[in-house]
Amino acid sequence: MHFADRLVEAVERSGSSLCVGLDPDPALMPRGVEVVEFCRGIVDAVAGLAAAVKPQAAFFEALGPDGWAALAEVCAYAREAGLLVIADGKRGDIGSTATAYAAAFAPIADAVTVNAYLGRDSLEPFLARDGLGVFCLVKTSNPGSGDLQDVALADGTLLWQHVAALVREWGDDLVGESGLSRLGAVVGATYPREVAHARELMPRSVFLLPGVGAQGGRPEELRAAFAPGPAGALVSASRSVIYAYRERGGDWRQAAAEEAARLAGEVRAVAVA
């Protein structure tokens, strides 16, 4: 089934446009808790409060030979809980390498993040996977994003705006029954003006909006992203939710559930306005 159509169903079912990032950092996790146990606990905590989870592949790859098996187990567990899975791998390569990346992620995730710096052919193996959602980096949430993404081209267009125009062009043939394309865009919630402009440039792309919480992004500034409806964007928060126990105290799963519920409410107020 087309990713954007599945996303619409997930948002309607959960009443939420929240995506919770799974970044299992041993330095921040509760002492004595294993990575898979921790991620399964977070999934249990946020199921019904979020539409999707976003496991960051790097934290699993850092585990060594057992890391990919752990990632696959966590993804399967999240899917069984009714959550969509967006694998955050930010892969970008060409030819057989890009094909191998797509072959690795497609069986375990509903969508994947990619870097389009190498051009359309670097995306083709992902786009060729029927139903797979693809989120292309457009304007990222980090402070240094402007070093490259805000460079002005000869006609005055910024580089990220040029990428946005390409995402719109490449995604026009990938629109589902929902009217949304399965080629989406990563746009940092830390740049609300850019979010609004990005929506003008990509009216049918699903936005993945990282940067809320620990990076300082605020849901109330993201209203423009939801112009297509509540499934037009997913607000992504990671550390502020999964490590909420470090500020709230108490059980780490309950703290994550409480923070996810609070944040989901803030996002809902914006998404359905």
State mean pLDDT over 106-122. 96
pTM, full prediction: 0.95
CATH of the domain at 145: 3.20.20.70
Task: Residue 157: give the domain boundaries.
Answer: 3-271
Q: What is the dihedral of CA 135, 39, 105, 87, to 10 degrees?
A: 10
> Residue 272 — very low, low, confident or very high, per pLDDT cuts 50/70/90?
confident
Dump pLDDT digits (tens) for 177-188.
Answer: 999 999 999 999
CB atoms within 10 A of CB 63: 17
| Active-site hit among 79, 90, 218, 239 | 90
User: Does residue 273 register a pLDDT over 80?
Assistant: no
Express the helix, strand and coil content of the chain in percent, nearest 5 each. Answer: 50, 20, 30
Q: State yes or no: is 139 an active-site residue.
A: no
Q: How many domains, the chain?
A: 1
The model's pLDDT over 152-211, given as tens digits with 9 standing for 90+, comes to 999 999 999 999 999 999 999 999 999 999 999 999 999 999 999 999 999 999 999 998
Q: Which two tokens stand for residue 140?
A: 């990222």
Phi, psi for 216 (deg, rounded to 5): 100, 0
If you ran DSSP here, which 8-state letter would residue 1 be given?
-
